[in-house]
Amino acid sequence: MQRVCGICPTSHSTAFLDCVERGMKIDPAKKVKLLRVIELELERINSHMLWTGHMANILGYKMLFMFFWKEREHTLDVFEKITGGRIHHNFSKLRSARFDLTKDMENFMLRKLARVEKKVKGYLKTFRSDSIMKARLRGVGTITKDGAERMGVVGPVARGSGVNIDVRKHIPVYRELGFEPVLEKVGDSYARTLVRLRETLQSIELVREALSEMPKTRLPKWGSFAGATFESTGRSEAPRGEDFHFIKAENGIIKRAKIRTPTFSNIISLEGMLKGREIGDIPVILGSLDPCFACMERVMVVKDGKAEDMSEEEFRRKYVGNNIPSVCPTH
């Protein structure tokens, strides 16, 4: 399931597992929940750093862009150390996790995170004080609280407008860690930037707390959904907002899967944000939504039990006008 996206693979696997575990009425152990918190939050740090660097690039700050991506490398190192993969990392299993964190991994993670935290605090100061940043971002692409609620936007876009939407506040383990969503009121690109930077610092703190609360028990055995029949929905808070999965399974075979990625909910608000703005603001406004087109555009064709991933252009060349096999959109 993590193959849906290269930036937020864990969010998809967590939402999928939420779905299956709710459907099969499995409640994983606290240790497993905390491990998922750690991976989700590391992913958020990674994604927000990537986004802020990208935003700095759009604004013309090439150096700041490189600085952010340099720090992002450290979070990728952490992923490599604890999961073995830098991009398509996955750690979660039904009812359990692949393996436990060792003391060595924990120390490595804390050391790297301390470095990232120090740097991000400095960059946050830059964003708060730099007058050119403010001139380019303030009042650009504003969406009011009412507008955001009406449009049904999710994630940092909604929280930048003061709408208190976050899947994490409905999850008991996050409440135990004292989680409160980060909110800004104004709803412009600047507010969304601040939300993401503040969330990065909050995520670092959440990882530390999750590590300190980790029980010293052994991991439970992996589960399997062989033979299970259920129909369920699951969610997780991806870096871009709420990720929604729907699964219908019969006798352990998935009959219908539906994924609603956060960008799909957010992109509709773009039209209203662009109205009346200048051409130069378009990249800033589009960028401030943190769109992930990778998970909106591709299709996967399943033919004779083999999956084939392709772009729209390839799909058109190969299948339009011919007999179409069953097509699963990655949505």
| Residues in contact with other proteins by the rule CB under 8 A | 149-153, 165, 167, 170-171, 233, 235, 242, 244, 246, 248, 256, 258, 260, 264-265, 267-268, 297, 299, 312, 315-316, 319-324, 326-329, 331
Note whether 245 and 239 are within 8 A (CB).
no
CB closer to other proteins out of 20 and 194: 20
97/265 Cα distance (integer angstroms): 30
Contact of 17 with 236, CB cutoff 8 Å? no
Report phi then psi at 263, rounded to 5.
Answer: -60, -35
Smallest gap, in angstroms, from Cβ of residue 292 to other proteins? Answer: 15
- Who contacts 275 (Cβ-Cβ below 8 Å, separation ≥6)? none
Closest CB to other proteins among 42 and 270? 270
Nearer to other proteins, 129 or 322 (CB): 322
State which residue, 97 or 165, has the beta carbon closest to other proteins.
Answer: 165
Nearer to other proteins, 267 or 294 (CB): 267
- In the complex, the smallest distance separating the C-beta of residue 156 from other proteins, rounded to whole angstroms, is 16
Q: State the CB neighbour count (10 A cutoff) for residue 28.
A: 21
Q: Which is nearer to other proteins, 251 or 326 (CB)?
A: 326
Contact status, residue 29 vs residue 36, Cβ threshold 8 Å: no
- The distance between the two most distant Cα atoms of the chain, rounded to a whole number of Å, is 60
Nearer to other proteins, 203 or 265 (CB): 265
> Residue 85 CB, nearest distance to other proteins (Å)?
28
Supply the minimum distance, in Å, between the C-beta of residue 322 and other proteins.
8
Min dist CB 106 to other proteins, Å, is 29
Q: Shortest distance, CB of residue 78 to other proteins, whole angstroms?
A: 27
CA distances from 324 to 74, 215, 220, 255, 296 (A): 44, 51, 43, 19, 20
List phi, psi (to 5°) of 250: -130, 125
CB of 28 vs other proteins, minimal distance in Å: 16
Burial 209-236 (b: 16+ CB within 10 A, else e): bbbeebeeeebeeebebeebeeebebbb
- State which residue, 9 or 262, has the beta carbon closest to other proteins: 262
Copy the structure tokens of residue 9. Answer: 């693979």
- Tell me the residue ranges of DSSP E strands in the chain: 92-93, 96-97, 230-238, 241-250, 253-260, 299-303, 306-310, 327-329
Q: Residue 102 CA to chain centroid, in angstroms?
A: 25
Minimum CB separation of residue 93 from other proteins in Å reads 21
